[in-house]
Amino acid sequence: MSGQDWVALRVDVPPAVAEEVASFLVAEGAPAVVTETGEAGVCVEAHVPAAEEPRLAAVLARYLATVPSALTTIALPEVDWSALARRHHRPRRVGERLLVAPPWDVPVAPGREVLVIDPGMAFGTGQHATTRGLVVANLLAEAIVTDAKALAGRVAAGGRLILSGLLDAQAATVSRAYRGWRLAGGSSEDGWRTLVLERETSSPRAECRDDAERP
């Protein structure tokens, strides 16, 4: 328990601008943003500390001044975030041969290599030879962008870099930080995205940008 009050800031917007609004809220500091499509449009919902709600509501209202929208704020009950994280992080298939699982839910997966990762930790720093062909970073999107060169430097030519812990709305920004890498796969579930990038064999030092925008 954090001991901090949280609220849900909800805004109904046309589908065409939903992703842009979600990205705006993330850029303004919202720790968690989800979208849900309904009959009347898309509901973009940001969970934020109650102390931050007045500022975010004000900047969002200005941002949406010319867009048809309906903004509401709802108090959230106190949440056991540890238990919630355990329910969210489930085994996930990546590509044709890999399955990534949290330590509390490791299934038997015939025909797949099972990679166990604590979602609260970064794995695969490359200090062991077996990790250089596959590096996994389960971090916040900002850290994935900021540390792009360091992460990329751990991957051998032809190796893969699995990036997780980012929202769907942050995927484009993260991808731009790894310009020159091939998108080999990925998945999306409940608004969370995993990207699988591959370093081309013929380009052992694919470019990662120092000046990439932050999520």
Query: Nearest 5 degrees, angle CA 208-CA 171-CA 140?
Result: 80
Q: Does residue 23 sit in helix, strand or coil?
A: helix
What is the token pair recorded at 129? 């030879």
What is the token pair recorded at 11? 């805004």
pTM: 0.43
Strands 160-167, 134-138: parallel, antiparallel or unpaired by DSSP? parallel
The CA distance from 42 to 118, in Å, is: 33
Q: State residue 6 phi and psi, 5-degree precision.
A: -125, 155
What confidence score (pLDDT) does residue 62 get?
92
What confidence score (pLDDT) does residue 4 get?
66
- Give the closest residue to 124 by CA, choosing from 157, 25, 206, 132: 132
What confidence score (pLDDT) does residue 55 get?
92
Beta-carbon count within 10 A of 81 CB:
11
Q: Tens place of pLDDT for every residue, the chain, 215 residues?
A: 345 688 889 999 998 888 889 888 888 888 778 888 877 788 889 888 889 899 999 999 999 988 888 888 988 877 665 666 676 677 877 777 777 777 888 888 888 877 777 655 444 433 333 336 677 777 777 778 887 887 787 777 778 888 887 888 888 888 888 877 888 888 887 778 888 888 876 544 445 555 555 55
The CA distance from 119 to 127, in Å, is: 20
DSSP count for the chain of H helices, then E strands = 6, 11
Beta-carbon count within 10 A of 182 CB:
14
Question: Which residues lie closer than 8 Å to 86 by C-beta, 6 or more apart?
Answer: 102, 104
Q: Does residue 37 sit in helix, strand or coil?
A: strand
What confidence score (pLDDT) does residue 188 get?
82
Domains of the chain: 6-79 (3.30.70.120), 84-198 (no CATH)
Q: Where are the alpha helices (DSSP H) in 64-114?
A: 81-88
Amino acid at 63: Y
